[in-house]
Structure 1
Amino acid sequence: MSSSVETDIGGRFKAAFRRYPAGVSVISAAGPDGPVGLTASSVASVSVTPPALSFSVTGSGSARAIVGAAGFVVNLLGPGHLGLARDFSRSGGPRFTPEQGWRTLPTGEPVLPGAVASLRCTPLHLVPVGDATVVVATVCEVFLGPTAGRLVYHDREFIASAPLPLPREGKL
């Protein structure tokens, strides 16, 4: 390979994934100094038996607290959480305010009751990869919420939409 291809692969890699829409979640945990959370678009289902998921994080303070926690909650967001996704995606954004609707589970983790779904997890594997950590976690509890629409991250922006109505029979 030429050196220009090698040095440009990171930029092209990022550009490729900017073109690929992904679901949005806020991962929350009880940190040593209070609740912590971050927006993630890397959540993926890994296994049904046993229930497991994965996500990746980089070295922010919130990420370190989540990776070090005994448990955390992956809150899958819907279209009504556009502002919350933005708040948790930037440093200094408001977090865990009463207006955002957070509650605390009996196990101590913050949970968002209005999320499309919230999955309480415990870490199974932490895999360092470059400047990131891939977290594989066992899903211990699933809380299902409303299913009205979707929130995706695409090309550096959050996009909220309601479901399209189904065509009537015989009509397109």
Structure 2
Amino acid sequence: MTPATAPPVIPPLQPTDFIDDHAPSWRPAAPEPAQIDIADFATMFRHQPAGVAVLTADPGDGPVAMTATSVASVSVDPPLLAFSVSTSSSAAPGLLHARTLVVHLLDEDDIGVAQLCATSGVDRYADGSTWSRLPTGEPHFHDVRRWLRVRPVRVVEVPGATVVVAEALLASSTAAGTARPLVYHHRTWHVLDESSVAH
């Protein structure tokens, strides 16, 4: 199978891209230099909880997988989501050249899958009992209760990563709501339950 063509690359958004006739008028006179320390920026988001997902794909030369904490819903109609792929990940070339991917949304029972796909230098598909292929060919960890089959529609390259906007083609949810969601916070895995509800 020949590797698929990568999704089209669009240039990074500029401040003027957000300006229209109905928006407040603002025109920065010149680019404003950043006044933030990189370490401070990293700390900000280290303390921001994020849901955990695993991305899987096969661009034609073998399956790849990566754990991600950047998956977010962008739009319901059309059903769009976004995620980022680090250029340092060994899975990046495969994920970015695949025509379709599977986005696994993990709960507490899937922590083993999250840890496996976050570990460098291991064969994430060595245990054939944990995964299979969808009828359309994508690799899928079949014990994960919630997953989406998606098609990338836009990519934006930024230093150190590529941001992907994808359209959801298929959603599957088995026994949804019976397990606690898996969350990554301050470099540690956590789960959400009723005790975490704010009053």
Q: Displacement of 1:33 after TM fit?
A: 2.9
Quote the RMSD (CA, aligned, Å). Answer: 2.0
Residue number in structure 2 paired with 1:140: 169
Equivalent residues, number = 160
8 Å contact from structure 1 (residues 82, 160) kept in 2: no
Aligned ranges 1:38-57 → 2 under 5 Å: 38-57=66-85
Q: Which has the higher strand share?
A: 1
SS in 2 for 1:20: coil
Q: Which TM-score applies when normalising by structure 2?
A: 0.74
CA deviations on 1:113-171 (whole Å, 9 max, x unpaired) are: 3323110001100101111100000000001123311111111111235x337xxxxxx
Q: Considering only CA atoms, is the larger Rg found in Structure 1 or Structure 2?
A: 2
Residue number in structure 2 paired with 1:28: 56
Residue ranges of structure 1 left out of the alignment (5+ in a row)? 166-171
Q: Which has the higher helix share?
A: 1
Specify the code of the residue in structure 2 equivalent to 1:85: A
Q: Displacement of 1:31 after TM fit?
A: 3.5
Separation in 2 of the partners of 1:10 and 1:44? 23
SS in 2 for 1:61: coil
Specify the code of the residue in structure 2 equivalent to 1:164: E
Specify the code of the residue in structure 2 equivalent to 1:52: L
Runs of 4+ in 1 over 3 A off after TM superposition: none
Q: Displacement of 1:94 after TM fit?
A: 4.3
8 Å contact from structure 1 (residues 103, 113) kept in 2: yes
**Percent identity of equivalent pairs:** 40
8 Å contact from structure 1 (residues 27, 73) kept in 2: yes
